[in-house]
Amino acid sequence: MKFWNTVARTILIHRVATIIIIAVITGLLASQFKNVQFSYTEANLLPEDNPVNIEYDKFLNIFGEEGNIIVLAVKDSTLFSDVKKFNNWIALADEISSHKKIIEGVVSFSNIKELKKNVEEQKFELTSIFTKKKYNQQEVDSISNHIFNDLPFYDHLLFNKETGTIQTIVYVDKQIVNTKIRSDYIKDTFNPLIKKFNKENNLQVRVSGMPYVRSMNAASVKSEMGMFVLLGLGVTGLIFFLFFRSLRATAITLAVVIIGVLWSFGFIGLLGYQISILTALIPPLIIVIGVPNAIFLIHKYQQEIHKHGNKAKSLQRVITKVGNATLMTNLTTSAGFATFIFTKSTILKEFGVIASINIMGIFIISLCLIPILYSFMPLPKPKHLKHLEKKWVDTIVKGMTKIVRNKKPFVYIVSSILLLIAILGAFQIKVSGSLIEDMSKKTQFYKDIVFFEKEFGGILPLEILVDTKKEKGVMNLATLKRIDKLESEILKIPEFSKPISINNLVKFTKQAFYNGNPDFYKLPTSQEKNFILSYAQNSGRDTNALSNMVDKTGRYARITTFMKDIGTERMEQIQEELQIIIDKNFPKERYNVTMTGKALVFVKGTNYLIHNLIISLGLAIVLIAVFIGGLFKNSKMILISLIPNVFPLILTAGLMGFLGIPLKPSTILVFSIAFGISVDDTIHFLAKYRQELIASKGKVRKSVYKAIRESGISMFYTSIVLFFGFLVFVISSFGGTKALGGLVSITLLFAMISNLVILPSLLLTFERTINKKKKSKK
């Protein structure tokens, strides 16, 4: 108590200096806003030394960035029957390819080529099919018929023969594909160009590919982040006002949380972190954590004014009586998020660092500014204190007290039944490693993803790296046959697109040798393999579509396929199936074959994230148990305090199982966030209970009922504010954000009821036993 008296005197005596210090810190952090940047690539959830990451880095070192393809497609029969539209489609590809600083190359009908045999020079030559800028209808019919029927090499690469859909592949420069330059290009140049083409030709160009999806998704995240900050302020401010009926209290609260939000952005910029899918949650999180701080402090101030009307005494008591409990609540919440720092995942570490720092920051801002600002203002008017006597709130609190007093067996029976049902539901939860599942289903770019999954097999790259362990080992006919066998198995998997490898080029060579007869689009015999080597040396890198299929030494080959958004469970099944085929066809003494690519890294990262978040949640529970143990110095109190906080988490897990909501990076955070916040109510209640226990000289029943009356209203207020504060996330266009908001809101509602009913019931049941033991010892 002496410590908090000293803190109170220091803050109130040096109130001007304190305001200046906070203003200076805010100004310095605001100067770091210029360093705040959004992430322009997928979040890599795995640590750098994870074997999956090591394999992926090895692939990138050999072949470079694999997620640099943007695809455009049109499925419209008028494209071939209307010469103007067709010529404009050709011109569109040429215009995109002219953006040399951004685009590495374009593969489309405008530059489609075929191999021809040069008998005189004994070599193969790549010749362009389209040699003019504009064509008449007869030429279009003839050329398109030739491409669709005689060039299987391009089937499912530039067209889908079955549906008539044609595609253009755009290769973004690998140096800028994960930077702001790419995002700005798509927003300012690429999208307006496509929009103009659609309007002028009455066509719908479908656009997808990871660079495009990342850009559109990042733009959505950026717009929603600002929207949720404003909504969070608006909704929590409105509910706060409805409870307190005071513009002054509402303005003070909003000022505190706005400063907290500014600090959060400032720390992100100061530490050089990027705004990712996780760190984007922190500013709104600070709002919904900051408002409960204000509720407890302002409510205590108004209670004191209502009792004796002495402002100085009230402000002193706000800090001394509520300061310790508020510190404990923020410290436990901060510690819960800080557990992420101990994981090896960079994105989790950054989230843990920023969240824990800013939670303690909002505590300092609240504890200092709220009493100081009130010290400069006149006493609250009687109308501002009327809410302390609201009958409906008092009725709720009295109802809770009645249940605790008379219905403890009923509370335990109902809780046990709900717990058993929830556990059954929890066992039905599935894990999802989907890259696009959380994206808005209403956006055009999501609809285009579904289109490409149907027409070309998907947009998520999966790479198979074949290491032959010797130079030029790829062009060995035995190796090519093994690759062909693997590709035939991939074709049997409906979730995968037609694979692309050096084999496509080799088969194209044999077809050319037999004068373009498509029946000979197959691997050559051992007698024909010299032509493969000749072609690979002279023409193998003239087309962007297959220029990266073999490394310069000829030791490594890649097989690229694109997969649908199939999620974790199915991906793991497919990986197991492919691994069996790989082990069977590629002897380990001669080959080293690995699966990699962004899709696989993300799936593995999801499993890693879930594993680490479970560990972090467990560590948070242990840390909070230590805090409570230190506060009460009683092991039984640790169990009593944890039960009402773990119980809501199990209920939420059961709800997720029954509703079919999977565990994924967004929804797994529900448990950490909800636990970190719900334990605040427990600490406030126990702190008040402890104060009353000391004052009443150990009278448990009296202390419990008074703690419900004194803390119940504040706990009810904060829970309602938090409920609606997180509920605003359900309007998000992202499925994960929507689920996060809804689940956290429901969990916190469960937690409020649990802390106002189960916690007091447990205290009455177990504390009386402890007191009896103490008395018997005496």
Count, residues in the chain? 778
* 107: helix, strand or coil: strand
Q: Are strands 103-107 and 113-118 parallel, antiparallel or unpaired?
A: unpaired
Q: What is the 3-state secondary structure (H, E, C) of 535-557?
A: HHHHCCCCCHHHCCCECCCCCEE
- Min mean pLDDT across 2-11, 267-276, 528-537 is at 528-537
Strand residue runs (E) in 14-62 = 37-38
Tell me whether strands 206-208 and 69-74 are parallel, antiparallel or unpaired.
antiparallel
Q: Is 395 left (phi over 0), alpha (psi -120 to 50) or beta?
A: alpha
Overall average pLDDT of the 260-265 stretch = 94
Task: Give the range among 22-26, 281-285, 432-436 with minimum mean pLDDT.
Answer: 432-436
For 275, phi and psi rounded to 5 degrees?
-80, 110
* pTM given for the model: 0.76
Q: How confident is the model at residue 584 (pLDDT cuts 50, 70, 90)?
A: very high
The boundaries of every CATH 1.20.1640.10 domain in the chain are 1-50+219-380+598-612, 391-427+634-778
Contacts with 337 (C-beta within 8 Å, 6 or more apart), sequence order: 351, 352, 355, 356, 359, 672, 676
Q: Are 337 and 672 in contact (CB under 8 A)?
A: yes
User: DSSP state, 385?
Assistant: G
CATH class, domain 1-50+219-380+598-612, is mainly alpha
pLDDT at 771 (0 to 100): 54
Give the pLDDT band of residue 586 (cuts 50, 70, 90): very high
pLDDT tens track for 11-31: 999 999 999 999 999 999 999
Render pLDDT for 662-685 as a digit per residue (tens, 0 to 9).
887 667 778 877 787 778 788 878
- Amino acid identity, residue 682? T
Note the CATH number of domain 391-427+634-778.
1.20.1640.10
Contact in structure between 597 and 461 (CB atoms under 8 Å): yes
109, 520 Cβ separation under 8 angstroms: no
pLDDT recorded at residue 773: 46
pLDDT tens, position by position, 332-372: 788 878 878 877 778 878 888 999 999 999 999 999 999 99
Is residue 276 a contact partner of residue 292, using CB atoms and an 8 Å limit?
Answer: no
Across the chain, how many H-helices and E-strands are there?
28, 12
Q: Which amino acid is at 207?
A: V
**Cα–Cα distance between 432 and 571 in angstroms, integer?**
10
- Helix (H) / strand (E) element for 145: namely helix 137-150
Contact 653, 661 (CB under 8 A): no
